[in-house]
Amino acid sequence: MGGLARLSGRSFLVLGRAGMDLYADPPGARMEEATRFTTALGGSSANIAVALTRQGCQAALVTCVSDDAIGRFCLNQLDRYGIDRRHVRAVAGEARNSLALVETRLEDCQSVIYRNGAADFAMTLADVEAVDYSAHSALIATGTVLAAEPSRGAAFRAFDLARAAGLPLIFDIDHRPYSWPSAQVASDVCSRAAALCDVIVGNDVEFGFLAGDPGKGLEAARALVTAGAAIAVYKMGEKGAITLAPDDEFETGIYRTAALKPTGAGDSFLGGFIAALADGRPLREAVLRGSAAAAIVVSRVGCAPAMPDRAELDRFLAEHPGPDAD
């Protein structure tokens, strides 16, 4: 893991969307029966940035938001969470911010995503070329940023610039089928991105998608490490995760909590995991900290506002026995 030594700088550049989440309220209410909704910052990349800042890291977001009240809501929320938004550009015209309506329910949880004319897909080469990559410790990207142009080309350009500056590349596959023109394009593009990165995180379905065969996801994760990646984390939901490195492979379980909803776990995991690596913690411990952060978030309302800070995460780990691998 020598190639990840730069993570110790704890300053992360995150590519991808910030949006507004609307949660049916009170918790448990079905969306079609709700009489009110509560607002929160959303979008996988923004959530990851929040998770990192809550763990004591610095995070800067590179994306576009709509030049309207919803875009300004997102900017205000980024400020509230202490996320550097100097590279977040407002886009006028018909571009609209990502909007997610979500239920706080564990069973049959409904989520309705509005992504028509998504502003974050307007990110351009000029946006990523304006960044001083040398000021950061790693570049983090989610698969959603690659789903459309010009954002896709800009993201790959950012990969090149980050690599030239010596930054590790971290990729959360984050496959959202509704964002892509076809499954084949998504598989080809995400596979290309994963092959360029040092750390790749995804669930079993996502790695299976990269492999082109649902039964060969773990083989795909192993192949990425064999080809030069430092870490691949193959998540399996309630069955835990298999973590792969050039000289190690191990399985970990999950922390059991009274979950309120299934959303936000992946973003929280990535933030807690990367922050722990930045602290210099052993790989297994980093995975467990990510898993604990995920367990905390699914037990709370919201995603960004549910992210634990370092003290909360430490306290949770002290009070909960380590999970056993299934």
- pLDDT digit string, tens, across residues 4-32: 999 999 999 999 999 999 999 999 999 99
Number of C-beta neighbours around residue 112 at 10 A: 11
Q: How far apart are CA 128 and CA 154, in angstroms?
A: 6
Query: Which strands form 36-42's sheet, in the order they lie side by side?
Result: 36-42, 19-25, 99-102, 111-114
Write the CA distances from 262 to 31, 110, 296, 299, 307, integer angstroms. 16, 10, 11, 9, 14
Question: Which pLDDT score, from 0 to 100, does residue 326 have?
Answer: 43
Which pLDDT value is given to residue 324? 61
* Structural contact between residues 123 and 63, judged by C-beta atoms closer than 8 angstroms: yes
Q: Compute the distance between CA of residue 172 and CA of residue 47 in angstroms, rounded to an integer.
A: 12
From the number of C-beta atoms within 10 Å of its C-beta (0-12, 13-18, 19+), residue 92 rates as exposed
Predicted pLDDT of residue 323: 83
For the chain, list the domains and their CATH numbers. Answer: 2-319 (3.40.1190.20)
CB-CB contact of 41 with 184 (8 Å): no
The per-residue pLDDT for 321 is 80
Q: What does the alpha-carbon distance between residue 196 and residue 297 come to, in Å, rounded to a whole number?
A: 30
Terminal CA-CA length for the chain: 27
pLDDT tens digit at each of 326 positions of the chain: 347 999 999 999 999 999 999 999 999 999 999 999 999 999 999 999 999 999 999 999 999 999 999 999 999 999 999 999 999 999 999 999 999 999 999 889 999 999 989 999 999 999 999 999 999 999 999 999 999 999 999 999 999 999 999 999 999 999 999 899 999 999 999 999 999 999 999 999 999 999 999 999 999 999 999 999 999 999 999 999 999 999 999 999 999 899 999 999 999 999 999 999 999 999 999 999 999 999 999 999 999 999 999 999 999 999 998 786 44
- 3-class DSSP assignment, residue 176: coil
Contact 41, 20 (CB under 8 A): yes
Determine the Cα–Cα distance for residues 278 and 164; give it in Å rounded to an integer: 20
Residue 32 to residue 42: CA distance in whole angstroms:
21
Distance separating alpha carbons of residues 245 and 250, to the nearest angstrom: 9
Task: Cis check for the bond before 181: say yes or no (omega within 30 of 0).
Answer: no
Q: What is the pLDDT of residue 127?
A: 98
- Return d(Cα 230, Cα 147) in angstroms, integer: 25
213 vs 47, 106, 234, CA distance in Å?
29, 28, 15
Residue 58 · residue 8 · CB < 8 Å: no
Separation between Cα atoms, residue 237 and residue 162, nearest integer Å: 31
What pLDDT is stored for residue 308 in this prediction? 98
Tokens of 75: 């900017």
Give Cβ neighbours of residue 209 (< 8 Å, ≥ 6 apart).
173, 175, 183, 186, 187, 190, 217
